[in-house]
A and B are shown apart, each in its own frame.
Chain A
């Protein structure tokens, strides 16, 4: 267990030591989104009764920050270690695949939650935030961050260069998170796009997370939790198999 805690601790220290870049910057980015979209759309878009657009926007932005930063943490840590070669420091010791996986994912969850909490705290200055079902919020935040942390681990394993990872981030993670209903409700979309949105796993993460704030969502939170659980399981099994076989890490 000491191996796991050490690796976890090291992964947390790694982003904490550069928290301006890993925590403060994403919080600022989310606030800029909030400022611009709220200014442009407040009063024009209304998704739920009694929920002003700016308030509707906040949970989506929080969750998007959680997800993107969880992904960024494990993926960039791993690719940096691979490129600089200091990955040998964790490949040489007797760290099991499960410990390796658990430490990277747990550190990603911490980073995601810290950034998410930062965004929520900053947004609370401007809008009155209230949690209708806090347990749902916490569950989705935790599991969503874990899913993206695991996905980041997989992307980090698969990538050999920074630009391959950047491509994954820009062409997969960004579109999926932007088209997940952060800025709108998918109910307002034409049927084709609605159907497509339902094929996007990120949609369920945002929607379920938002349920915790308003007690209302596009799909039932239990269904979202199911999609999230299955996705997490699949990605985790894949990641663990890659780690066990040493795929792209041990040649």
Chain B
């Protein structure tokens, strides 16, 4: 695969389990070695120039890992030291504040709940102010409160110019935050486009109608997903098709009792590209 993520993007990597999202992240982070091909972070090759590449990269791993020997603050100080930073406490305090960790600063890692440990993992990835932040399923098994706080903070960093790469199963998160998305399937890029284009190209509108009678005129100018009595669910490729549907109903003398429009969502795109429909 060839994939370029531009500086300052909020980029989503989506795909079913086993699609290769985490493998790709591990290759970028140097946790795994590629058999062939080249990867670089901000121009630094991840093998030949690994120290520069890693300095610019902050990775939040998917597994909930921690070092049971240390407190939160010790963990963050040690992580800063690994990146060559001494006296990093001002930034550590700021990161802890934004992730709501300040109250737990001196608690041992072992004593933290899963959600809290996840926050520390995020903080560890940010101690060295990386230019590129990679979040591998950062909100898996995490409470709503943290999700919101986390996204607020990550969005702020993104606005300040840091590139964010996100893998997630929560499509609404990708839809909400990412400006560009790559859909992976079996280690390949199945689709790569701006979030808006993907939604428009692949999804379309879903329309639910309640009519004043059970029968529909034939032929009908839209794809019928479900039809039960007076209830009809239609799939339209765009809002324009709605015009034709309304016209056809009018000329058949059928009137609409209720109408509900479902906006496009990534779930559909995702399923179409990766799931049974493909």
- Residues of A at the B interface (CB closer than 8 Å) are 2-3, 5-7, 9-10, 13-14, 17-18, 81, 84-86, 88-96, 246, 250-251
Q: Kindly state whether residue B31 has any CB partner on chain A within 8 Å.
A: yes
- Inter-chain contact A94/B31, CB cutoff 8 Å: no
Cα-based distance from A92 to B124 in the complex (angstroms): 11
- Inter-chain contact B54/A3, CB cutoff 8 Å: no
Chain A residue nearest to B53 (CB atoms) is A94
Known: A91-B30, A94-B51, A95-B82. 5 other contacts (CB 8 A): A3-B81, A6-B78, A6-B81, A7-B81, A94-B54
Which of these binds chain A: B60-68, B165-173, B222-230, B248-256? B60-68
| Interface CB pairs A-B, < 8 A, 6 | A9-B78, A18-B69, A84-B66, A88-B59, A93-B128, A251-B26
Cα-based distance from A2 to B77 in the complex (angstroms): 12
Taking a contact as CB atoms closer than 8 A, the residue among A10, A84, A92 that contacts B31 in the complex is: A92
Q: Kindly state whether residue B178 has any CB partner on chain A within 8 Å.
A: no
For A251, the chain B residues whose CB sits under 8 A away are 26, 31-33
Chain B residue nearest to A14 (CB atoms) is B69
Chain B residue nearest to A17 (CB atoms) is B69
Nearest chain A CB to B70's CB is how many angstroms away?
8
- Inter-chain contact B61/A88, CB cutoff 8 Å: yes
- Inter-chain contact B67/A86, CB cutoff 8 Å: yes
For A90, the chain B residues whose CB sits under 8 A away are 82
Q: Kindly state whether residue B181 has any CB partner on chain A within 8 Å.
A: no
Chain B residue nearest to A88 (CB atoms) is B61
For B67, the chain A residues whose CB sits under 8 A away are 81, 84, 86, 89
- Inter-chain contact B82/A7, CB cutoff 8 Å: yes
Nearest chain A CB to B137's CB is how many angstroms away?
14
Q: Kindly state whether residue B83 has any CB partner on chain A within 8 Å.
A: yes
Cα-based distance from A5 to B81 in the complex (angstroms): 8
- Inter-chain contact A91/B78, CB cutoff 8 Å: no
For B81, the chain A residues whose CB sits under 8 A away are 2-3, 5-7, 9-10
Q: How many residues of B contact A (CB 8 A)?
A: 32
For A94, the chain B residues whose CB sits under 8 A away are 50-52, 54-55, 82-84
Cα-based distance from A13 to B84 in the complex (angstroms): 18
- Inter-chain contact A93/B83, CB cutoff 8 Å: yes
Cα-based distance from A17 to B67 in the complex (angstroms): 13
- Inter-chain contact B79/A89, CB cutoff 8 Å: yes
Q: Kindly state whether residue B85 has any CB partner on chain A within 8 Å.
A: yes
* 5 shortest interchain CB distances as A-B pairs: A6-B81, A93-B82, A94-B51, A85-B65, A94-B54
Cα-based distance from A6 to B59 in the complex (angstroms): 19
Taking a contact as CB atoms closer than 8 A, the residue among B52, B66, B84 that contacts A86 in the complex is: B66
- Inter-chain contact A88/B84, CB cutoff 8 Å: no
For B82, the chain A residues whose CB sits under 8 A away are 3, 6-7, 89-90, 93-95
Cα-based distance from A34 to B84 in the complex (angstroms): 45
Report B7-56 residues with CB < 8 Å from chain A CB. 26, 29-33, 50-52, 54-55
- Inter-chain contact B65/A84, CB cutoff 8 Å: yes
Chain B residue nearest to A94 (CB atoms) is B51
Chain A residue nearest to B82 (CB atoms) is A93
Chain B residue nearest to A247 (CB atoms) is B33
Q: Kindly state whether residue B57 has any CB partner on chain A within 8 Å.
A: yes
Chain A residue nearest to B86 (CB atoms) is A2
For B128, the chain A residues whose CB sits under 8 A away are 93
- Inter-chain contact B33/A246, CB cutoff 8 Å: yes
For B69, the chain A residues whose CB sits under 8 A away are 13-14, 17-18
- Inter-chain contact B83/A88, CB cutoff 8 Å: no
Nearest chain A CB to B48's CB is how many angstroms away?
13
For A84, the chain B residues whose CB sits under 8 A away are 65-68
For A85, the chain B residues whose CB sits under 8 A away are 61, 63, 65
Cα-based distance from A111 to B170 in the complex (angstroms): 47
For B68, the chain A residues whose CB sits under 8 A away are 84
Contacts A88-B65, A92-B57; A3 near B33 (Cβ below 8 A): no
For B55, the chain A residues whose CB sits under 8 A away are 94
Cα-based distance from A9 to B51 in the complex (angstroms): 21
Nearest chain B CB to A3's CB is how many angstroms away?
5
- Inter-chain contact B61/A2, CB cutoff 8 Å: no
- Inter-chain contact A10/B78, CB cutoff 8 Å: yes
Nearest chain B CB to A240's CB is how many angstroms away?
15
Of the candidates A13, A18, A88, A251, the one having the most CB atoms from chain B within 10 angstroms of its own CB is A88
Cα-based distance from A90 to B81 in the complex (angstroms): 11
Cα-based distance from A2 to B69 in the complex (angstroms): 21
Nearest chain A CB to B180's CB is how many angstroms away?
25
- Inter-chain contact A91/B84, CB cutoff 8 Å: no
- Inter-chain contact B29/A92, CB cutoff 8 Å: yes
Of the candidates B29, B51, B78, B85, the one having the most CB atoms from chain A within 10 angstroms of its own CB is B78
